[in-house]
Chain A
Amino acid sequence: MENKPWNLESFVDALVIELDKTRETLAVKALNKPLTYSVKDMALDLQIFPTYNGDRVEFVTARPGEQGASKVTIKLDSVTDQVVKATSKSLPQKGDVQIEETEVDEETKKELRKIGVTSVKDLETIEKKNVDLNKVGNKKINYSDLANMIQKSRRNSASPKVSKVSMSMSEDVPVLTLEGENLAVQKNFKPVAVINDELVEVKSYSDKKIQLEAPKINSRPGRSHQLIIALDPYSIFKLNLNENNDYAGKS
């Protein structure tokens, strides 16, 4: 039988599964027996040979006749659910983008994992503390490229949707109103809009509604109009408006 190397994480997972099976058996025993016992802690001294393949450390169990093995002690303790809660990272929330799902290169993902960054929220926490990632990691991380890619991923998961387009008059000026979801989501970026290749004024904007002053729309009755709007650096869409206010959109 080939003595395959294994990593520490897989070994501890296997041990925990074994201990859980023991606990389950003891729990069934406890149903009928008033006096029961459980495993409080456990320590295993293993005779193994550590190896390093340039990327991670793995271990090979020593076999009969093999000399020079290292001793590694793995100690497992029992803790209460309060301690688990206090020492565990919170579960991923809806809308939080995981670094693994972004287009960031593998090297950067690996460097970020090493410093405990696994999501956009983790990156924002670090940013708020004004930490220089380049001084923490071994390799240079281009933070602004990373931030751009992260923001783009986040935008993809909250893409804009236009559900209604309407026209009205305000002080004799036609006003085009777009309603929907995830429209202007960046508070520090004012959308930019162009109708029929001419820049128009954005009167008001929010994530649910954008109002544009479109003075020249009425001067082309019966013809279709093209609206191109940049909601933020990561979201631009185009709408074709015709006489009946039907619209065909492309983002």
Chain B
Amino acid sequence: MLTDDLYLPFFQHIREMMPVEDCIVIDEEKGILTYPEKVEISTPLEMEIVANDDGEIQVGSAPPMYYANTSLLPVFHHLRITIVKNE
């Protein structure tokens, strides 16, 4: 239902920000494993919120597509998300 291909479904956008396990560093020589416990992300984003005739909504989002100072600037919303290690 999203009309613009440039927007990802919202959950897909969040998922793309979440490969935190790729940030794990293993130093086999010293026997040390380093991993993040918490990641806080604060980012502007562009959003498309589409409502159909039944009132159902689909949310699409994407990071700012460009930062050029154009005459018609896009609307930037803002997302803050906290990602934590599961116990």
User: Interface residues, chain A, CB within 8 Å of chain B?
Assistant: 1, 4-7, 10-11, 13-15, 18-19, 21-22, 25-26, 30, 33, 35-47, 61-66, 69
* A39 surroundings in chain B (CB, below 8 A): 14, 18, 81-83
* B51 surroundings in chain A (CB, below 8 A): 4-6, 10
Instruction: Give chain B's interface residue range (CB within 8 Å of chain A).
Output: 35 or more
The total of interchain contacts (Cβ-Cβ below 8 angstroms) comes to 104
Chain A nearest CB: distance from B29 CB in Å?
21
Chain B residues 28 to 81 lying within 8 A of chain A, measured CB to CB, are 35, 38-39, 47-51, 55-59, 72-81
* A35 surroundings in chain B (CB, below 8 A): 21, 24, 35, 85
* B80 surroundings in chain A (CB, below 8 A): 42-43
Among the listed B14, B49, B73, B82, which residue makes an inter-chain contact with A22, where contact means beta carbons less than 8 Å apart? B14
* A44 surroundings in chain B (CB, below 8 A): 77-79
Among the listed A11, A15, A22, A45, which residue makes an inter-chain contact with B15, where contact means beta carbons less than 8 Å apart? A22
Is the CB–CB distance between B10 and A18 below 8 Å?
yes
B84 at the interface (CB under 8 A from A): yes
A contact patch SS: mixed
Chain A nearest CB: distance from B68 CB in Å?
13
Known: A37-B84, A39-B81. A19 touches B57 (CB 8 A): no
Is the CB–CB distance between A36 and B57 below 8 Å?
no
Chain B nearest CB: distance from A20 CB in Å?
8
Is the CB–CB distance between A25 and B15 below 8 Å?
yes
Is the CB–CB distance between A18 and B59 below 8 Å?
yes
* B20 surroundings in chain A (CB, below 8 A): 37
* A22 surroundings in chain B (CB, below 8 A): 11, 14-15, 18
Chain B nearest CB: distance from A40 CB in Å?
4
